[in-house]
Amino acid sequence: MSRITLAVLAFAAIACLLVPATADAHPKHGGPFGIGIILGEPTGITGKYWMGSDQALDFHLGLDGVDNHRNDNFGIYVDYLFHFDTGVNASAFSMPFYLGPGGALVIWDDNYRGCNRFGNCYDGNDNVYLAARLPLGLAFLFTRFGGEAFVELVPTISVIPSFFHFDIHGALGFRYYF
């Protein structure tokens, strides 16, 4: 069984186990909209809008390609997230796990020729990258002042320029809700 198949099966199993344990994850102070910074892949501005107690829409605007294979790039990322209770809750914070489907659109000036460790090959031309994403993350929601710190790993499968190239992005960030 390939690594990609195992990864997809693992994510599906985790999602099925956690579905009944939804979390009241929305920060208790501040409003439903948060904005902040994200570091990693991508690096830039992040936002999140809570559409209920356990579902949110997040977005990231920033630079992609921390491996220095791509320069002069910009990406737009949007994800629909479901939050699940991890059992770690206190009066000052809660720590839900989240996952959900998403997409990425990255435009870059590619000056790299060759292939990376996942078999993604670059031809040295400018490209548009369109991909499906499945963010898996852990949020640390501060209930006393309406902030959120998060860390996430994001398996990504490209659709354009070539179908089914697999990559894993990772990032950490902070948002303040108002």
Predicted TM-score (pTM) of this structure = 0.76
Q: Which amino acid is at 44?
A: G
CATH topology assigned to domain 3-177: Porin (2.40.160)
- What percentage of residues in the chain have a pLDDT greater than 70? 69
Query: Which of 6-10, 37-41, 78-82 is the least confident region?
Result: 6-10
Q: What is the pLDDT of residues 115-125, one digit of tens each?
A: 766 666 766 66
Q: Domain residues of the chain, as ranges?
A: 3-177
Secondary structure letter of residue 28 according to DSSP:
S
Query: Which of 9-23, 46-60, 70-84 is the least confident region?
Result: 9-23
C-alpha to C-alpha distance for 9 and 124, rounded to whole angstroms? 34
Q: Which two tokens stand for residue 17?
A: 């186990």
Is the pLDDT reported for residue 19 higher than 50?
no
